[in-house]
Chain A
Amino acid sequence: MKILLVAESREGKVLGGTYELVAFAAKMQAESVMFLVGDEGALPKYDGKLYLAEAKACGEYNPDVHKQLLLEVVAKENPDMIALCHSSYGWDLAPRLAFALGAAQVSEVVGLADGLPVVPVCNAKLRRDVKAKTAKTVVTLQAGAFGLSEEPAGTPSVEKLGGAAAGRVQFTGYEQAAAGGVDLGKASVIVSAGRGIGKPENVAMVAALAKALGGEYGASRPVVDAEWVEHNRQVGTTGQTVAPKLYVACGISGAIQHLAGMKKSEFIVAINTDKDAPIGDVADVLVVADLKQFVPLLTEKIQAL
Chain B
Amino acid sequence: MKILVCIKQVPDMESKFKLDAAGLWYARTDLAWRMNEYDEYAVEQAVQVKEQFKDADVTVLCIGPEQVKETMKKALAMGCDRGAHIADDEVWAKEPFEVAGVIAEFARGKDFDLIFTGMQSQDRGSGQVGVLVAEMLGMASVSTVVSFAFDGTTVTAKRELEGGVKACINVKTPVLVTCQLGMNTPRYPTLPNIMKAKKKELLSTPVADLLKVDKRQETARMYFPEKKGGGQVLEGDLGEMADRLIKILKEKTAVLS
Contact = CB atoms under 8 A, between A and B. Distances in A.
B255 A130 contact: no
A43 interface: no
Nearest to A214: B255
Contacts, number: 247
Contacts of B220: 116, 128-131
B106 interface: no
Interface string A176-200: 1100000000001100000000000
Given A122-B122, A131-B217, A302 B225 contact: no
Contacts of A239: 164
Interface in A121-155: 121-134
Contact of B217 (A132, A213, A293): A132
Between A99, A119, A133, A171, the greatest number of chain B beta carbons within 10 A of the residue's beta carbon is seen for A99
Contacts of A287: 234, 241, 245
A302 B169 contact: no
Interface stretch (A27-35, A47-55, A218-226): A218-226
Interface in A103-133: 103-108, 113, 116, 119-133
B238 interface: yes
Given A129-B220, A168-B172, A284-B231, A238 B164 contact: yes
A157 to B, nearest CB: 29
Given A133-B216, A280-B231, A246 B253 contact: yes
Contact of A107 (B11, B128, B162, B245): B128
Contacts of A246: 249, 253, 255
Contacts of A282: 228, 231
B30 interface: no
B126 A105 contact: yes
Interface stretch (A18-26, A70-78, A85-93, A158-166): A85-93
Interface string B228-257: 101111110011011101101100111110
B127 A99 contact: no
Interface size class of A (residues with CB under 8 A): 35 or more
B96 interface: yes
Contacts of A276: 16
Q: Is the interface of B mostly helix, strand, loop or mixed?
A: mixed
A2 interface: no
Interface in A206-258: 213-215, 221-222, 224-225, 231, 234, 237-240, 245-246, 253
Nearest to B181: A225
A284 B232 CA distance: 6
B224 A125 contact: yes
B92 to A, nearest CB: 11
A264 interface: no
Contacts of B122: 122-123
Chain A at the B interface: mostly helix, strand, loop or mixed? mixed
B233 A288 contact: yes
Contacts of B246: 298, 301-302, 305
B218 to A, nearest CB: 5
Contacts of A173: 167-168
Nearest to A281: B228
Nearest to A225: B182
A124 B95 CA distance: 18
Contacts of A123: 13, 122
A224 B182 contact: yes
A198 to B, nearest CB: 13
Contact of B162 (A87, A119, A127, A169): A87
A104 B217 contact: yes
A214 B221 CA distance: 46
B70 interface: no
Contacts of A106: 217
Interface string B57-75: 0000000000000000000
B142 interface: yes
State the 4 A-B residue pairs at the shortest beta-carbon distance, nearest first.
A177-B164, A225-B182, A104-B216, A168-B140
Interface of A: 10, 60-61, 63-64, 86-89, 91-92, 94-96, 98-100, 103-108, 113, 116, 119-134, 168-177, 188-189, 213-215, 221-222, 224-225, 231, 234, 237-240, 245-246, 253, 266-267, 269, 274-276, 280-289, 293-294, 297-298, 301-302, 305
